[in-house]
Amino acid sequence: MSYSFKKQLKSFTFAWKGILTCAGHEQNITFHLIAAIIVLAAGFCFGISRTEWMVVMLCIGTVIAAELFNSAIERLVDMVSPEWEKIAGEVKDIAAGAVLITAIAAAIVGMIVFLPYVIALF
């Protein structure tokens, strides 16, 4: 199997299409993207360290990825189980719980990173 730059480029196009589809239809990912923009702005304003940037970017990426996985799982469940079923609901709840856990962990990391900068202002 040979490498094809054209195929690789097309796969990136599909990936961006998926991100944009989710961003255009899912309220939660919009919230996470707005939060990410605020965090990035705070990082620039406070001049956080290189290590802090790495941690913040990993948190942002993890939360956004979790939200994308959650959206994909929800759509798949809706497709295979259009009628309400207990297990289908549980699957969707579990996926949403995963997003919540990553968001809480990211918020804790954000407090650890940014709190000293905020305290230094006073």
Of 67, 74, 83, 85, the active-site residue reads: 67
Domain count, the chain: 1
| 46: in domain | yes
**Tokens of residue 55, six digits:** 């941690």
Residues 29 and 71 sit within 8 Å (Cβ to Cβ): yes
| 110: in domain | yes
Is position 67 annotated as part of the catalytic site? yes
| 8: in domain | no
Q: How far apart are CA 38 and CA 81, in angstroms?
A: 37
In the chain, % of residues over pLDDT 90: 81
pLDDT digits (tens, 9 = 90+) for 44-56: 999 999 999 999 9
Predicted confidence band of residue 1 (pLDDT cuts 50, 70, 90): low
| 7: in domain | no
The pLDDT mean for the chain works out to 94
| 29: in domain | yes
Which CA distances in Å does 69 have to 6, 22, 72, 96, 101?
Answer: 26, 10, 5, 9, 14
CATH number for 70 = 1.10.287.3610
| 14: in domain | no
Show the domain range for 46: 22-120
pLDDT digits (tens, 9 = 90+) for 63-89: 999 999 999 999 999 999 999 999 999
pLDDT digits (tens, 9 = 90+) for 90-120: 999 999 999 999 999 999 999 999 999 999 9
User: Residue 9 above 90 pLDDT?
Assistant: no
Q: How far apart are CA 28 and CA 26, in angstroms?
A: 6
